Amino acid sequence: MEQRIYSVAEINGDIKKLIDGAPELGAVLIRGELSNYKIYPSGHHYFTLKDSESSLRCVMFKGSAVKLRFRPENGMKVIAAGRISVFPRDGAYQLYCGDLTADGVGDLHVAFEQLKEKLWKEGLFDESHKKPLPPYPRRIGIITSSAGAAVHDMIRILRRRYPIAKVILLPVRVQGVEAPPEIVGAIRYANRYQVADLLITGRGGGSLEDLWAFNDERVARAIYDSELPVISAVGHEPDVTISDFVADRRASTPSNAAEIAVPDMAELLRWMHNASGRMSQGVRNTLSREQKRLSVLEQKRVMADPTAFLQDRRLQLDLAYQRLLAAEKGKVDAQARRFASLAASLDAISPLKVLGRGYAMAQTAQGEVLRSSAQVSAGEKIRVVLGEGSLDCTVNDKE
Amino acid sequence: MEKTFEENMARLEAIVERLEKGEAKLGESMALFEEGTGLIRLCRQELDRAEQQVVKLMKGADGAPVETDFLTED
């Protein structure tokens, strides 16, 4: 029996048929590490899956590649799903990959980490960009589903805590492909028409898939661009989304967002009540401090005994008077001494003193002292004054 | 122009703090106390107007927001 001679194409074709016919190779999951990852302009992805011992060529056509939820990178551990077939032209078998998922952590986690990294590098999470929340908002805009429990939880808490604020609901879908554009639209709309002082966007808990809209890059950028402050409120406490990082405040749950958004009115009233007391106390303190200052001043001697001041002055006055008297007395004594001496010298030159020694003084009848005989005529009466007494005489003759 | 609740609260906080620190002169303290008491009354009045309204915002024909009642179960 003559052996059949194949052409290369024939044998490759037969092998392909054989492999394609093997049900165990039609749908396989392969764990490996990505390497040589290339994206061709055609949109097809080519890569090699390898582990420590072996490697396998893979191709992922454009139609499957666009559905990838993360960006594959060399070195990434993945699970590739697809079928093994032969590329007849090269006679090489390879994996025709339909989907790639991240190994261990899951592809959504990988996508999440990748977007987080990218936006973080761009500065979308910067603290400096975060806006303060208004302390007493009048209008709260809620961007969420009008159907879920989340919206009712928020309204209930807002009503209880701060019933003077108006709640404005901007209903959107919060899961599915329509969710991100609707959330983005509502954020932009709220900004354009300034419908609220503050926005809360989020939803109740769910799977990572359910929360995925809040890990959407478009939603993240809309939150970043919002001029109105945004509180992100997605899922339960442990759930963290990209929206949480980019929002001005992160709330652990929608209920928590409502608590962050508004003050508690009961607390405000209490605060006001206390404020009243604190103010009174403050004024009382000031008053008592001033009183203390006053009483310190009052206790000073000048204030306690106002006449003390006068007494001092009086004492001073007395002293001055004494000194004045003393000075005056001194002056009088000096004058008396001077008078005595003057009197003594006057006495020394007194004509009476001369007369006392036996001399006499002749005077005209008019009292004029006679120094020459020519001053009188014979027969004229003159007066002679002696040391003691006087004589009335008549001039008999003159020489 | 009438002050907002926020401005009134901020002023009130400043007054309470100043009075508590006792930095103000007696005359000023009295004036501040009076002002503060007035602000408390104003703010309380505002809080007494407690009537929360919940509306659903829809896009009107011209794109501008239209409010409709949103009824909640409570």
- This complex has an ipTM of 0.79
How distant is the alpha carbon of residue A69 from its chain centre? 44
Question: Which of A:23-62 have CB within 8 Å of B?
Answer: none
> Is B35 within the bounds of a domain?
yes
> Is B40 within the bounds of a domain?
yes
What is the pTM (predicted TM-score) of this model? 0.62
- For residue A156, which residues of chain B lie inside 8 Å, CB to CB? 72, 74
Residue bearing tokens 């809080």: B47
Give the pLDDT score at A301.
67
**Does the pLDDT at position A375 exceed 90?**
no
Q: pLDDT band at A1, cuts 50/70/90?
A: low
* Interchain pair A275, B54: CB under 8 A: no
Mean pLDDT score of chain A: 88
Structure confidence by residue, pLDDT tens digits, B10-46: 999 999 888 888 877 888 888 888 998 999 888 888 8
> Is B12 within the bounds of a domain?
yes
DSSP state for residue A270 in the 8-state scheme: H
* Interchain pair A134, B65: CB under 8 A: no
The vertex-A251 CA angle with B70 and A128, nearest 5°, equals 115
Q: Are A282 and B22 in contact (CB under 8 A)?
A: yes
Residues of chain A with pLDDT > 70, as a percent, come to 96
Structure confidence by residue, pLDDT tens digits, A267-304: 988 998 899 899 888 888 888 888 888 888 877 766 66
- For residue B7, which residues of chain A lie inside 8 Å, CB to CB? none
Residue bearing tokens 């952590």: A105
> Is B48 within the bounds of a domain?
yes
> Is B22 within the bounds of a domain?
yes
> Is B29 within the bounds of a domain?
yes
Strands A381-385 and A361-364: antiparallel
How many angstroms separate the CA atoms of A143 and A254, rounded?
11
Handedness of CA B55, B58, B59, B62 (dihedral sign): negative
A138-142, A157-161, A318-322, A329-333: the lowest-pLDDT one = A329-333
* Interchain pair B56, A169: CB under 8 A: yes
Residue bearing tokens 């009130």: B12
Nearest C-alpha of chain A: how many angstroms from B64? 7
Strands A166-171 and A139-144: parallel
Q: Helices A149-161 and A254-261 meet at what angle, rounded to 10? A: 30
**Does the pLDDT at position B74 exceed 60?**
no
Most confident option among A21-30, A344-353, A385-394: A21-30
Residues of chain B with pLDDT > 90, as a percent, come to 5
- Give the number of domains in chain B: 1
Nearest residue in chain B measured CA to CA from A275 = B16
Pick from B4, B22, B52: CB nearest A166: B52
Give the pLDDT score at A67.
86
The SS3 call for residue A165 is coil
**Does the pLDDT at position A46 exceed 60?**
yes
- The domain of B32 spans 5-57
Give the pLDDT score at A374.
84
Backbone Cα Rg of chain B: 20
Measure CA of the first residue to CA of the last residue in chain A; give whole Å: 229
**Average of pLDDT values for A11-40?**
92
Give the pLDDT score at A236.
86
How many angstroms separate the CA atoms of A381 and A393, rounded?
6
**Average of pLDDT values for B40-53?**
81
Nearest residue in chain B measured CA to CA from A287 = B26
In 3-state terms chain A splits into helix, strand, coil percentages (rounded to 5) of 45, 20, 30
Structure confidence by residue, pLDDT tens digits, A218-258: 999 999 999 999 999 998 877 889 999 999 999 999 999 99
> Is B67 within the bounds of a domain?
no
The SS3 call for residue A106 is coil
Give the pLDDT score at B71.
66
> Is B66 within the bounds of a domain?
no
The SS3 call for residue A77 is strand
